[in-house]
Amino acid sequence: MNAMTRVAIGIEYDGSHFHGWQLQPALETIQGALERAVAEIAGERVAVIAAGRTDAGVHALEQVAHFDTNASRPLQAWIRGVNRHLPPAVAVRWAVPVEPAFHARFSAISRRYRYVLFNHPVRPALHGGRVGWYHRMLNVDRMSLAAQYLIGEHDFSSFRSSECQARSPVKTLHEVNIRRHGDYVLFDFRAGGFLHHMVRNIIGSLLWVGYGKVLPEAFAELLAARGRTLAAPTFAPDGLYFAGAEYAEHWRLPLSGRIMTPFDPVQP
């Protein structure tokens, strides 16, 4: 019998037609699609564990996951072979063997999310489901000022879903970057971890600041409230992307290190 091997994989997916990452009875999920595809190559059932669970309609640029298998296969089998059994909206980009101590979720140092917002009076058609949309013109400078109140360690209960299962609402947000490219506004977040719906709830409140409903300084009050009563409703999942996870170098993962969506400006 072959020794157990742990394999790490990098995945991208369009989550528009999936019910999120996590397995759910009778519903199509990213985890379910991957586990079926990997099982076809491994010849056995596997459990695929991700760095971060994404909600229904949320996408991934470089999700990191791992699975254990008794099967001995060339690395390309875990990429091209698995991809032959995946729906077109999901693809394994890389695969590497890792030490048994590696864990896609618990070994991650930080995680990144990007929200892509189409800021135009008319809704998008070709990019429907892959970008968020807001019709009023937004002031990026005002939103950036508001976002600075979120940097650091805080109780993020004001931006937490009522269904969140995290043990603590306290998270450390390392970075928020907001910039405009034509009709698109890109929101980038990096933190050690995120609460359920945290980014989408922050986006909704930032839009209030962007069109002048509240002042940037109101974000200090939102955090202090430690409840959902003052914050905006949860914004649409369409433009949200899991952009990647950070790991210690000794794991030797072939991470791209870039956050690139089809909505970035073309680099010269």
Concatenate the DSSP letters of all residues of the chain into one string. Answer: -PPPEEEEEEEEE-GGGS--SS-BTTB--HHHHHHHHHHHHHTS----EESS---TT-EEEEEEEEEEES----HHIIIIIHHHTS-TTEEEEEEEEE-TT--TTTT-SEEEEEEEEEESSS--STTBTTBEEE-S---HHHHHHHHGGG-EEEE-GGG--TT---S-SEEEEEEEEEEEETTEEEEEEEES---TTHHHHHHHHHHHHHTTSS-TTHHHHHHHH-STTSSPPPPPSTTEEEEEEE--GGG----------TTSPPP-
113 is in an annotated binding site: yes
Q: At 154, give phi and psi (nearest 5°).
A: -145, 160
Query: Which residue among the candidates 55, 141, 155, 264 is catalytic per the annotation?
Result: 55
Q: State how far the Cα of 142 lies from the Cα of 212, in Å rounded to an integer.
A: 9
140 CB-near residues (< 8 Å, 6+ apart)? 178, 179, 180, 185, 210
Q: State how far the Cα of 136 lies from the Cα of 134, in Å rounded to an integer.
A: 6
> Is 14 assigned a catalytic role?
no
Residues marked as catalytic: 55
* Known binding-site residue numbers for substrate: 113
* Known binding-site residue numbers: 113
